[in-house]
């Protein structure tokens, strides 16, 4: 019975993670369809304004409660990092293929792993170092510097991945001090404030259709974070993490079928190495965590 229950929860977690991947691929496809018609900062600003609508209840109660100075400082740092990340990501989406953006985006958890070791004192064992090396090799295969001319969009997406990774590290610190819902709501607020001057400096009148698409981006992004949270609650990361590889497959299909982008086997290969390395790191973390957890019924002193 226990095995059946575990299997059922694993399937539920996989289902939620499949939904997460579809939501994020939908976000990529919509932004790609705008084809840079709006400046990156303006498009990102409008998207986050719509996101604030969904998070307004949480945001209102959080601001009334208030935060300490150190928490506000972390909110500000994360907001700045996320501003850099989303502007770079929106720009990359207007320059390179959906599959390339998705594959390079797999660098995010690698940046988190390395950053946690460098700045948070977490141990980086030899096996994890090897997995990070494999992931970086995958990124080099996707980019292929020296073998082809790199577009500014490639470099922009790399910058976005680094900034997103750093933002997640700050979020980890914040999660120790405030609830996760507050972390998300305050990110939406600080990013909106940070993007406002950049957006206004190069504002272009947006059509109703463009506003509608960006509102849909906010809907899918919010839904994606929700379904991802449900996936993490339903099943272990070792079960749900490998499912993220399907995002690369779906992104490639979207690029081919909708935007008539060529299928790049090197992107698939490099992305596969990256997600394989990420899955291995996740599996090792789960093993280490299980080894540190005393068995049920163990004597507690």
The answer to whether residue 56 is domain-embedded is yes
Q: What is the pLDDT of residue 11?
A: 86
Q: What is the pLDDT of residue 293?
A: 36
Q: What is the pLDDT of residue 237?
A: 65
Higher pLDDT, 35 or 137: 137
Look up the pTM and report it: 0.81
For the chain, percent of residues with pLDDT exceeding 70: 91
pLDDT tens for 237-291 read: 667 777 777 888 888 888 888 988 888 889 999 988 988 888 887 777 666 654 4
The answer to whether residue 299 is domain-embedded is no
The answer to whether residue 49 is domain-embedded is yes
The answer to whether residue 297 is domain-embedded is no
Nearest Cα neighbor of 90 from 44, 29, 159 is 44
Mean confidence (pLDDT) of the chain: 84
Whole-number CA gyration radius for the chain = 20
Q: What is the pLDDT of residue 162?
A: 93
Is pLDDT at 20 greater than 50 in this prediction?
A: yes
The answer to whether residue 298 is domain-embedded is no
Q: What is the pLDDT of residue 300?
A: 39
Per the structure, the complete domain to which residue 242 belongs is given by 2-200+208-292
d(CA 153, CA 165): 18
The answer to whether residue 228 is domain-embedded is yes
pLDDT tens for 195-242 read: 999 999 999 999 999 999 999 998 998 888 788 778 877 877 667 777
Higher pLDDT, 95 or 60: 95
Between vectors from CA 19 to CA 16 and to CA 20, what angle results, nearest 5°?
85
The answer to whether residue 170 is domain-embedded is yes
**Which of 60-64, 84-88, 227-231, 281-285 is least confident?**
281-285
pLDDT tens for 168-196 read: 888 888 878 888 778 888 888 999 999 99
Q: What is the pLDDT of residue 5?
A: 56
d(CA 110, CA 148): 24
Q: What is the DSSP letter of 235?
A: S
Token couple for 150 = 């790199």
Sign of CA dihedral 120, 84, 278, 146: negative
Higher pLDDT, 281 or 153: 153
Q: What is the pLDDT of residue 287?
A: 65
- Residue 153 banded pLDDT, cuts 50, 70, 90: very high
Is pLDDT at 6 greater than 60 in this prediction?
A: no
The total number of structural domains that make up the chain? 1
Is pLDDT at 86 greater than 60 in this prediction?
A: yes
The answer to whether residue 300 is domain-embedded is no
Question: In sequence order, which residues have a C-beta less than 8 Å from that of residue 301 and are 6 or more positions away?
Answer: none
Is pLDDT at 134 greater than 80 in this prediction?
A: yes
Is pLDDT at 301 greater than 60 in this prediction?
A: no
Is pLDDT at 164 greater than 80 in this prediction?
A: yes
Q: What is the pLDDT of residue 286?
A: 64
Q: At what angle do helices 245-257 and 2-34 cross, to 10 degrees?
A: 40
DSSP 150-198: PPHHHHHHHHHHHHHHHHHHHHHHHHTTS-HHHHHHHHHHHHHHHHHHH
- Residue 111 banded pLDDT, cuts 50, 70, 90: confident
Q: What is the pLDDT of residue 263?
A: 84
């Amino acid at each position: 019975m226990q095995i059946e229950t575990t299997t059922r929860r694993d399937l539920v977690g996989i289902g939620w993670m499949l939904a997460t991947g579809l939501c994020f691929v939908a976000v990529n496809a919509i932004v790609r369809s705008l084809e840079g018609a709006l400046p990156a900062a303006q498009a990102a600003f409008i998207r986050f304004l719509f996101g604030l609508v969904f998070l307004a209840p949480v945001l209102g109660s959080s601001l009334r409660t208030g935060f300490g100075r150190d928490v506000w400082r972390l909110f500000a740092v994360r907001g700045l990092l996320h501003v850099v990340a989303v502007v770079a990501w929106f720009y990359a989406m207007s320059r390179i293929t959906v599959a390339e953006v998705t594959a390079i985006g797999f660098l995010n958890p690698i940046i988190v792993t390395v950053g946690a070791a460098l700045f948070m004192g977490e141990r980086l064992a030899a096996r994890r170092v090897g997995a990070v090396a494999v992931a970086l090799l995958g990124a080099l295969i996707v980019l292929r510097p020296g073998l082809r001319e790199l577009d500014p969009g490639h470099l922009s997406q790399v910058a976005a991945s680094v900034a997103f990774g750093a933002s997640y590290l700050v979020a980890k610190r914040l999660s120790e001090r405030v609830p996760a819902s507050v972390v998300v709501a305050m990110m939406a607020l600080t990013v909106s404030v940070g993007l406002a001057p950049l957006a206004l400096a190069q504002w272009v009148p947006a059509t109703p259709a463009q506003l509608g698409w960006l509102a849909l981006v906010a809907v899918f992004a919010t839904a994606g974070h929700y379904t991802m949270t449900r996936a993490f609650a339903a099943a272990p990361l070792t079960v749900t993490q490998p499912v993220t590889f399907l995002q690369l497959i779906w992104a490639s299909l979207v690029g081919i079928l909708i935007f008539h982008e060529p299928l790049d086997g090197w992107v698939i290969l490099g992305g596969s190495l990256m997600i394989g390395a990420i899955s291995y790191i996740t599996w090792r973390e789960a093993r280490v965590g299980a080894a540190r957890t005393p068995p049920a019924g163990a004597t507690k002193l």
